[in-house]
Amino acid sequence: MNFFNRTVRLLAFAALTLGFVAHAADSARAIIAKAALAEPPAQRIETITSLLGSGDESIAGLLAAWKEDALFVYTAPDGSKIPVQLFGDKDDQDSQTATRVDSGKPILSSAGKSLRLVASELTAVEHTSALRRAMKAVLDLLDLSTPDLKKRISAIQTLGFAQDAEKLAALQARQKIESVPSAQLALREAIALIELKDASPEVKLASLKELAALHTIGSADALKAALADAEAANHPSLAAAARLALNAVDSHLTTVNFFGTLFRGLSLGSILLVVALGLAITFGLMGVINMAHGEMIAVGAYTTYVVQNIFGTGLALSPFGFSFHIPGMNTGGWLYESYFIFALPLSFLSAALVGIAMERTVIQWLYRRPLESLLATWGVSLFLQQFFRRVFGSNNVQVSSPSYLSDNWTFHDIIFGWNRVFVIGFAGLIVLGVWLVLTRTSLGLLIRAVMQNRNMAACMGVRTERVNMLTFGLGSGLAGLAGAFLSQIGNVGPSLGQSYIVDCFMTVVVGGVGNLPGTVVSAFGIGLADQSLQQILLNPVLGKITVLVAIILFLQWRPAGIFVTKSRSLEG
Amino acid sequence: MSAPTTRRIEFIAVAVIATLLIVVFPLLNSAGVISNFTLNLWGKYLCYALLAISVDLLWGYTGLLSLGQALFFSLGGYMLGMHLMRMIGDLGQYHKPIPDFLIFLGWTELPTFWKPFSSFPFAAAMVILLPGLVALVFGFLAFRSRIKGVYFSILTQALTYGGSLMFFRNDMLMGGNNGFTDYKFLLGADVRDASTQRALFIATAVTLVLVYLGCSWLSRTKLGLIQRAIRDGENRVLFSGYAAAGFKLFIFVLAALIASVGGALYVPQVGIINPSEMTPDKSLEAVVWVAVGGRGTLVGPVVGAIVVNALKSWATRAYPDLWLFFLGGMFVIVVLFLPGGIVSIPDRIKMWWARRADANAATSAPVAP
Amino acid sequence: MTTDQEKTNLILTVEGVTKTFDGFKAITNLNFYLDRGELRTVIGPNGAGKSTFFDLITGRTKPDTGKIEFGWDTDLTALNEYEINRLGIGRKFQTPSVYSEHSVWENLLLSLKGPRGVFSTLFHRTSTEQCDRIDELLTLIRLDAKRDWLAGQLAHGEKQWLEIGMLLAQDPQVLLVDEPAAGMTDDETHRTGELLLSLAGKHSIVVVEHDMAFVKQIARDGKVTVLHQGTVLCEGKFDDVQADTRVREVYLGRGQHGTR
Ligand SMILES: Nc1ncnc2c1ncn2[C@@H]1O[C@H](COP(=O)(O)OP(=O)(O)OP(=O)(O)O)[C@@H](O)[C@H]1O
Ligand SMILES: [Mg+2]
């Protein structure tokens, strides 16, 4: 019975496709115009149905207008009937511009002016429920043929997940002409999913094999249902095939999760890396962890926010009760989107300046008292946080990603956000840059000299004060850059720095003092461990705690990575 | 001044202050001279003083800047808080025999680990045992691998951070974000009653005096000498044959216990405990008290805790937005310009005076014929 | 190689020890044997590895290869600093390391022989014998008048004396003394020499020194070991060593100008 049904439908569809091919010369508009005029109405259905499988963009609008009684038949002075649509503002006589359905162009009067008609004086083209059903069928399949690949694939998937046997024919027809491989895959999946509902066990079995071969993540639910059905129907071979397919999907899912985790871990690691690099440099130099380093991240992120607003409509701030307005440039399009390119160097600069100011006012007096400077920098951190709150408000501010960072690639179901890819790539560049600065420039030489032996360097005539200042600026600037990245991935708020700083400290501790390669390894190690534990434990908090415990245990095993013992004087 | 005289002066001062706190203030309160609010506020300050002493014992005396003291303080608070929650009985909003937040999370029966907390002695023992155990395990691992200086600070900060993350979770069954509040009874007395609060104040004052005397004794023992030797030159201590790790562990656990007892006394007086008390920032705040008061002394932390918190009570009401600026600024200024804290001011004035006198003598001498 | 008789007479055995710092060989295949009651002088140019040699014995650094034994059966490489110290190996550092925030008296008290556990120090009461011993040491190191001074306030030479006093307070079997004469007057240097000579016999002593007059004073008939580039260049009586051409080349030839 069902099989018979299917054959009939297939045949009907074949006929229709042939019909469609016959009409190929006519545009979709012309067909709809023809349908609007068709007599008797039964023929309308047939004509509309002939649009099945067409991807023309005008169809959706016209059919919607038809259903809303906004498609009219205008009888021209010469008696010919023209289907029209009315557009534009109504004037005082309620008239609007009339557009021909078949061409989409305004009707021109003999004087060459566009014709204006009044809706209430025209008769709307009728539609019956059977016709509306036919229209829906056309609309359903419309997206199957749209030239927009993403839209097409998502339409195919929607049809597949619905598992509606009626849509099978359309999908199969599309399969014949589809040329893009990813859409082909989606079609195979959708067809297999629909066939999974087929009554015949052979068809089911074949579709299960197909699904096992495709092992798409989306098919898991349908497969589970099929497995349950097969078990209920006591059909062992089907159940086995379903299990096989499910296993294939599961193992694929594991792979996808694995690589997804790897990717997220890498991007988190990259951010940690950029922040921790700055921390490692300042730490290596002055032997103290700058507790306000996290606030340097926030300085960078807020700078990005300010730059974005200046490119946009401007920024109203009301710090300490004064309110002032930074006018915007009201740019749009690509110029607006390029704000991020400008924000990157500016966030580096602003954080570097804040860092230098901090070094001059507070830290330079505390070089030999690491614990005290830890405390003083915490004071600065409190100060800055409150400052952000007063200037930018205590809530998160909105930083929108430019379009070139907000999309993603999907590769074998693994989603690669462009923002994260960008962060990874840029972190690589920064590491390279820092390495070059430290090894190839005279500043780098001085920094390393001071790091190794402050007194000796001072004796050799190195102006350690300047080196301190610049190093501190460099370290803080790196944190600022990280802040600009973070603004693309997470929220920007006054306590932004606080949420990353503990991880950064850990990175530096595990990596070892002033040991840049160590910092790189530990940043990625911690980033990956964090993300994979979150994945495994399904709980971000437990994941974090496990990482902390792991770090403490790690230090049991390799405390030596941290301590540099100097030979002659006892207390290094 | 010789050592015995300073000790006698110290003893008299402690005796006077102890009488004031333990006897005079509560009497004035029951006579209505000191308001319940003020007494309660001071009770809170004294709990903070205990926390500050625990910070100073590590930082000022042993050179270990622990940012984990807020964790131990809150753990103590939570342990007693659990007992207080059990004492609410069925007087909660849901009128069920288990704490409201558990009902809210869909529990109908008390989780097993909550059961023994109905007993006060058990809860009191846990105030000592749990933070002590945490400190023992963490300290053992940290000191064994010779983690010191800023590394120790960072790791204890991470420990506190991890603890607060855990307590923020609802599945921890410790009240999540909101923690524990709305206590009703402690040892059969109504917690909100003025006389109960007065008793708690006295208990806190007695504890503080005992802890003060204990620490003061400790600092005079040979262990106290080694403690300060570790601060000034840990490696040298090793080469004198002392296992520095064992000494540090002892002090770390002791400081955790002091903080924890402070927390346990704090909770019934303040009426609430939640994970925001457990953050690394709270530890750092306690470090500010010690820095402001004067580290490496026992009076310093007490003075600092009281002065800074009194200032905070006033400033958060008068200038709520500026308080954090103030706290941050105060920290920077004390560290930069007054490393000895408030208690070092008299000495500084004396030194300044002496130097001025010297300078005067020096400048006037050549002029004389 | 060694007979049982010799074994029991050995107090320190260092055999085939190598130590590398980041690829730099500070100690290479070092062999060193110290007899009970011996007073040994070790000399060598700057950077020869003398202090590193002490570091290896006292557990400050661990050797890459080789064995270091105390007596003839205690493996020192498996122990850490305080365990080695408790066995009875005391050390005076090259740069004086005293507890600068403690008084001279407290410095000596902390070094005094006795139980070193946490609880035994917590309940420790200083006995009259211990006070007497400290007084004795204070007289010996001539810091009697400064017993209540903070050690950090002492002059460099006084700190050296204090550290020697701390070493004696431990009453160790083996004394490792790194450049005791640095910062002392000639008179004091001489007195240090006398002191070390008086201790020999009861204690086993290794002295590292650059000051040749001092070395000559304490070496007498005892052995002198010359370290060069982390290994033993030669070993023998002071006069023999001084006559050795290799030694003259690497050390004494230069040393005549470099040191007194
Ligand atoms: N912890 C260490 N890391 C790296 N190199 C070290 C370390 N300790 C010692 N060295 C190196 O090993 C070599 C030997 O140093 P050592 O201090 O033992 O020499 P020394 O013989 O005591 O010299 P001096 O007479 O100047 O005291 C030196 O080149 C020194 O730089
Ligand atoms: Mg040396």
Q: Where are the domains of chain B?
A: 3-273
Reported as a single tens digit per residue, the pLDDT across A240-287 is 777 777 777 778 778 888 888 888 888 878 888 888 888 888 877 667
- Write down the pLDDT at residue C256: 46
Q: Is the pLDDT of residue B328 over 50?
A: yes
pLDDT value at residue B124: 94
Model pLDDT, residue B66: 92
For chain A, list the contacting chains (3+ Cβ pairs, <8 Å).
B, C
* For chain A, percent of residues with pLDDT exceeding 70: 82
pLDDT of residue A568 exceeding 60, the answer is no
The pLDDT assigned to A393 comes to: 82
A513, A385 in Cβ contact below 8 A?
no
Q: Spell out the domains of chain C, with CATH numbers in brackets.
A: 4-98+172-252 (3.40.50.300)
Q: Can you say whether residue A28 is alpha, beta or left, with left for phi > 0 and alpha for psi between -120 and 50 degrees?
A: alpha
- B343 or A204: which leads in pLDDT: B343
Cβ–Cβ below 8 Å for B221 and C98: no
> What is the whole-number distance in angstroms between the Cα of residue C50 and the centre of ligand 1?
8
DSSP A398: P
**Residues of chain C contacting A569 with CB distance shorter than 8 Å:** 95, 97
Average of per-residue pLDDT across B179-183: 86
Best residue for ligand 1 mutational test, from C21, C91, C177 (most atoms within 8 Å of Cβ): C21
d(CA C169, CA C176): 14
Local confidence band at B152 (pLDDT 50, 70, 90 cut-offs): confident
- C56 CA → ligand 2 middle, Å: 13
Whole-angstrom distance, CA of residue C156 vs CA of residue C13: 33
Contact criterion met (CB < 8 Å) for B332 and A383: yes
Output the CA C178–ligand 2 centroid distance in Å: 7
Nearest residue CA, atom 3 of ligand 1? C21
Verify whether the Cβ–Cβ distance B242 to C124 is below 8 Å.
no
Residue-averaged pLDDT of chain B: 88
Lowest mean pLDDT among A402-416, B86-100, B279-293: A402-416
Contact C95 A567 (CB under 8 A): no
d(CA A382, CA B335) in angstroms, rounded, equals 15
Q: Residues lining ligand 1, judged by CB closer than 6 Å? A: A 565-568; C 21, 26, 44, 46-52, 94
Nearest to A46 by CA among A81, A25, A20, A24: A20
Smallest Cβ–Cβ distance between A556 and the set B144, B149, B233 belongs to B144
Q: Which of A88-97, A424-433, B195-204 ranks highest by mean pLDDT?
A: B195-204
C51 interface with A at CB cutoff 8 Å: yes
The residue with greater pLDDT, A313 or B342, is B342
Which pLDDT value is given to residue B3? 63
Other Cβ atoms closer than 10 A to C221: 8
Chain B residues whose CB is inside 8 A of the C94 CB are: none
Q: Measured from the CA of C53, which atom of ligand 1 is nearest? A: 18
pLDDT given at position B306: 93
**Residue B367 pLDDT more than 60?**
no
Q: How confident is the model at residue A155 (pLDDT cuts 50, 70, 90)?
A: confident
| Cα–Cα dist B257/B262, whole Å | 8
ipTM of the complex, rounded to two decimals: 0.87
Encoded amino acid at B158, one letter: A
pLDDT tens digits, C200-243: 888 899 999 888 888 888 888 888 998 888 888 888 888 888 88
Tokens representing A202 are 């052979």
Of B218, B240, B247, the CB nearest to C111: B240
**pLDDT attached to residue A22:** 39
% of residues, chain A, pLDDT over 90: 4
Counting from 1 in the atom list of ligand 1, the atom nearest the Cα of A567 is 8
* C-alpha C89 – ligand 1 centre gap (Å): 21
**Inter-chain contact B226–C110, Cβ cutoff 8 Å?**
yes
Predicted local confidence at residue C255, as pLDDT: 46
pLDDT tens-place string over residues C112-128: 888 888 898 899 888 88
Ligand nearest to the CA of C44: 1
Atom of ligand 1 nearest to the CA of C44: 21
Distance from CA of C187 to the nearest CA of B (A): 28
Q: Identify the pLDDT of residue A18.
A: 41
pTM of the model: 0.79
Structure tokens at A326: 């930074």
**Predicted local distance difference test score (pLDDT) of residue B267:** 93
Of A565, A568, A571, Cβ closest to residue C94: A568
> Whose atoms come closest to the Cα of C50: which ligand?
1
What is the predicted pLDDT for the residue at A340? Answer: 83
The protein residue whose alpha carbon is closest to atom 12 in ligand 1 is C26
> Three-state SS for A334?
helix
Chains touching B, CB cut-off 8 Å, 3+ pairs: A, C
Distance C46 CA to ligand 1 centre (A): 8
Question: A213-227, A239-253, A374-388, C39-53: which range is least confident on average?
Answer: A213-227
Please report the pLDDT score of residue A487 as a whole number: 87
Q: Look up residue A505 and give its amino acid.
A: F
Over residues A11-26, mean pLDDT: 45
Average pLDDT, chain C: 86
Q: Who has greater pLDDT, A233 or B319?
A: B319
Distance, CA of C156 to CA of C93 (rounded, Å): 13
Q: Chain A residues with CB-CB distance to B under 8 A?
A: 287-289, 362, 365-366, 370-376, 378-383, 385-387, 390, 502, 505-506, 509, 541, 544-545, 548-549, 551-553, 555-556, 559, 562-563, 570-571
Please give the structure tokens belonging to residue A273: 């890396």
More confident residue, B140 or A74: B140
**Average of per-residue pLDDT across A397-412:** 74
pLDDT at B201: 93
Q: Render pLDDT for A420-469 as a digit per residue (tens, 0 to 9).
A: 888 888 888 888 888 888 888 887 888 777 777 777 777 777 777 788 88
CB A505 within 8 A of CB A409: no
Nearest atom within ligand 1 for CA of residue C48: 21
* CB-CB contact of A96 with A74 (8 Å): no
CB contact (8 A) between residue B284 and residue A378: yes
Averaged over A60-88, what is the pLDDT? 76
* The pLDDT of residue B46: 94
Asked if the model's pLDDT at residue B369 lies above 70, the reply is no
C52 CA distance to ligand 2 middle (Å): 7
The residue that leads in pLDDT, C40 or A315, is C40
Q: What is the pLDDT of residues B21-69, one digit of tens each?
A: 888 888 888 888 888 888 999 999 999 999 999 999 999 999 999 999 9
Confidence label for A53 from pLDDT (cuts 50, 70 and 90): low
B237 CA: distance to closest CA in chain C (Å): 8
How large is the average pLDDT for residues A380-401? 85
pLDDT digits 0-9 by tens, A303-337? 999 888 888 777 777 666 676 777 767 776 777 77
The reported pLDDT for the residue numbered A17 is 45
Nearest CB partner across the interface for B150, out of A288, A381, A383: A288
Contact B239 C80 (CB under 8 A): no
Contact B331 A371 (CB under 8 A): no
pLDDT reading at A403 higher than 80 = no
Residue B303 carries which side chain, given as an amino acid letter?
A: V
Atom of ligand 1 nearest to the CA of C49: 18
DSSP B252-265: HHHHHHHHHHHHHH
Residue C253 CB: number of other CB atoms within 10 A? 12
Point out the least confidently predicted range of A363-377, B15-29, B138-152, C9-23: A363-377
C182 to chain A, any CB pair closer than 8 A? The answer is no
Does residue B363 register a pLDDT over 80? no
Long-range contacts from A141-144, C-beta under 8 angstroms, 24+ separation: A141/A52, A141/A53, A141/A167, A141/A170, A141/A174, A142/A54, A142/A55, A142/A56, A142/A59, A142/A60, A143/A55, A144/A53, A144/A55, A144/A170, A144/A171, A144/A174
User: CB–CB of B150 and A287 under 8 A?
Assistant: yes
Are residues C108 and C164 in contact, defined by beta-carbon separation less than 8 angstroms?
Answer: no
CA–CA min distance A272, chain C (Å): 28
The answer to whether the CB atoms of A567 and C93 lie below 8 A apart is no
pLDDT score, position A16: 45
Provide the token pair at A362. Answer: 């507070």
Residue B133: what pLDDT? 96
pLDDT of C137 strictly over 80: yes
Residue of B nearest to C171 (CA): B240
For residue A524, pLDDT over 60 is answered with yes
Q: Does the pLDDT at position B158 exceed 80?
A: yes
Residue C254's pLDDT is 52
- Output the CA A206–ligand 1 centroid distance in Å: 77
pLDDT tens track for A467-516: 888 888 988 999 999 898 888 877 888 888 887 888 888 888 787 766 67
Q: Where are the beta strands (DSSP E) in B261-332?
A: 272-273
Q: Is the pLDDT of residue C177 over 80?
A: yes
Give all chains having 3 or more CB-to-CB distances under 8 Å with chain C: A, B
For residue B308, what are the CA distances in angstroms to A339, B330, B348, B363? Answer: 45, 10, 21, 41
Q: How far apart are CA B211 and CA A562, in angstroms?
A: 36
| Band of residue A570 on the pLDDT scale cut at 50, 70, 90 | very low
Averaged confidence pLDDT in chain A: 75
Predicted local confidence at residue B30, as pLDDT:
82
Pocket test for ligand 1, best of C30, C42, C50, C52 (most atoms within 8 A of CB): C52
Among A4-18, A342-356, B289-303, B347-361, whose mean pLDDT is lowest? Answer: A4-18
Do B169 and A541 count as a contact with CB atoms less than 8 A apart? Answer: yes
Distance from CA of A245 to the nearest CA of B (A): 36
pLDDT in tens, B96-134: 888 888 888 888 888 889 889 989 999 999 999 999 999
Span B143-172, mean pLDDT?
85
User: Each residue of A343-386: pLDDT tens digit?
Assistant: 899 999 999 999 999 988 888 888 777 778 888 888 889 889 88
CB-CB contact of A156 with A186 (8 Å)? yes
Which numbered ligand comes closest to the C-alpha of C48? 1
C185 C-alpha vs ligand 2 centroid, how far in Å?
Answer: 20
* Residue ID of nearest Cα to ligand 1 atom 31: C47
Using DSSP, state whether A25 is helix, strand or coil: coil
Residues of A within 8 A of B139 (CB-CB) are: none
Q: Do A382 and B239 touch (CB under 8 A)?
A: no
